[in-house]
Structure 1
Amino acid sequence: MFDFARVSAFVCGYRSVAPLEAASLVDGVRRLWWKRMTDFWQLEFHYDRGDFSCDELFTADEALLHWWTDRLGQVEDTFAGG
């Protein structure tokens, strides 16, 4: 789902302009992953609001979450510049 080489190049370019510590980037990746793990906004729209327009996003977000979870270390390393 992520092109690791492209993400790494982007992060390196960004860090050359705005210095960020690797630990901060890893923390950000982990926080975003955790937000995705615990955020069920599509279900809230579906059941609480009766809005079915986002139903197809649930499957795509689930696939991304599985992919990201299986490669969490690699994603963190990519953002940390490793």
Structure 2
Amino acid sequence: MFDLARVSEFMRGYRSVVSLDASTLADGVRRLWRKRMTDFWQLKFHCDRGDFSCDELFTADEALLHWWTDRIGQVEDAFTKA
């Protein structure tokens, strides 16, 4: 899903310009993961608005969530290793 090598290189370059603490980045990774775990915007569109245009995103979002959950430590490492 994510190219973790690219993420790591991007973050290494970004952190060379902007000072970011590794623990802050790890916290951000976990917060975004939790947000994805509890974000039901597609259901709101589908059920509340009768808008079915986003239904196909359920599958993609579920796949990303499974991938991320299985690799949470690797995702954190990609964002935090200097």
Pick the TM interval, shorter chain.
Answer: over 0.9
Superposed CA deviations along residues 11-58 of structure 1, whole A, max 9, x for unmatched, are 000000001000010000000000000001001100011000100011
Unaligned runs of 5+ in 2: none
- The residue aligned with 2:25 is 25
- Matched letter for residue 33 of structure 1: W
CA–CA separation in structure 1 for the residues paired with 2:23 and 2:78: 12
Q: CA RMSD in A?
A: 0.9
Quick one: higher RCO (CA 8 Å, sep 6+), 1 or 2? 2
Q: Structure 1 segments of 4 or more deviating over 6 A? A: none
Q: In 1, distance between residues paired with 2:50 and 2:37?
A: 23
Question: What's the counterpart of residue 36 of structure 2?
Answer: 36
Distance 1:3 1:52 in 2: 30
Give 1:49's aligned residue: 49
Identical columns (%): 78
* Residue 62 of structure 2 is aligned to residue 67 of structure 1: no
Q: Return the letter of the residue paired with 1:39.
A: D
Q: What TM-score, normalized to structure 1?
A: 0.97
TM-score by length of 2: 0.97
Deviation of the 1:2 alpha carbon: 1.0
- The one-letter code sitting in structure 2 at the alignment partner of 1:73 is G
